A = this chain, B = another copy of it.
Amino acid sequence: MKPAIKEAAGALKKTRLPRQSELPLAKTAQPIGAGSRASSDLPAKKGDRTRLQIKAAARVIFARDGFLNSTIAEIMKEAQRSIGVFYRYYKSKDELLLELTEEFRQKLLQQIHLPLRPNQDPIDNFEEKLGIFWQLYMEDWPIVNSALQMSMVDEAFAKRWHDLRQQGIGAIAHIIGKARKLGYCPTIDPHYAASALCSMLEFTCYNWTSRWGDFAGAKMSKTAAIQTLKQIASHSIAWRSPT
């Protein structure tokens, strides 16, 4: 992972992050919801159990130290296994995060898929989705914050993160488009706005969960938090030109 830190810039040369194509995206489609409960309910196969233990340990260590500050050694100590075992399950530290991120992505995509119900205002639908996003972020913040870190530092990872963001942005842009058809926010560029709202969501969640975040210490009220997000996000769209 020295590489991960050092390798990123296009201008740099030395070590080798796995090429995009080498990465095991497919592998990730494990049963939804299996991610967060790790070591208690033993899955059928021993290997799977170890894999879960590693992931659970990573979560703990990422939460404590952040991704870039954590070491494989530390994670495996938490997982009560030897370092060597790590590489039986993951090709690299990056790949571990990739898998965790992919799980989060799957969960998110599945749960956030809420088609507009008949007669539902798109804004209401948007708020529902916001609630889900917040919920999932709270569950998996050590992973998402880690992904955020890596996306700022590693090119390969940044590209994947960018793709995930694009899905979110696309979805929100779509909603904004719908809203505009209903007369809302006529002067706004749906894509730019979606990008900004996405940033707000992500980074607010980051700042409200990270160790040194805005309200670290004084833990914030969950409902107030989500109310704030919903109000800001929806009012930023749900306005009409004055007449």
Q: Chain A residues in contact with chain B, CB under 8 A?
A: 5-12, 64-66, 68-71, 145, 148-149, 151-153, 155, 158-159, 161-162, 165-166, 169, 185, 187-189, 192-193, 195-197, 199-200, 202-204, 206-208, 210-216, 220, 224-225, 227-229, 231-233, 235-239
Whether A235 and B185, one on each chain, are in contact in the complex, defined by CB atoms closer than 8 angstroms, is yes
Contact of A158 with B231 in the complex, beta carbons under 8 Å: no
- Chain B CB within 10 A, most for which of A71, A197, A231: A231
Residues of B within 8 A of A11 (CB): 64-65
Q: Are A231 and B66 in contact (CB under 8 A)?
A: no
Contacts A165-B214, A185-B235: A64 and B9 contacting too (C-beta < 8 A)?
yes
Please pick, from B7, B149, B200, B216, the residue contacting A152 in the complex, using a CB distance under 8 A.
B149
For A165, list chain B residues within 8 Å (CB).
Answer: 207, 214
Of the A-B pairs whose beta carbons lie under 8 Å apart in the complex, a sample of 20, sorted by A's number, is A6-B69, A9-B65, A9-B211, A10-B64, A66-B153, A68-B68, A151-B212, A155-B211, A162-B213, A165-B214, A166-B214, A185-B231, A195-B208, A199-B199, A199-B203, A203-B203, A232-B236, A233-B236, A235-B237, A235-B239
Tell me, in angstroms, the Cα distance from A148 to B199 when the chains sit together: 14
Complex formed: what's the CA distance from A71 to B237 in Å? 43
A188 touches B236 (CB 8 A): no
A161 to B216, CA, bound (A): 13
Closest B residue, CB atoms, query A156? B212
B residues less than 8 Å from A188 (CB atoms): 228, 231-232
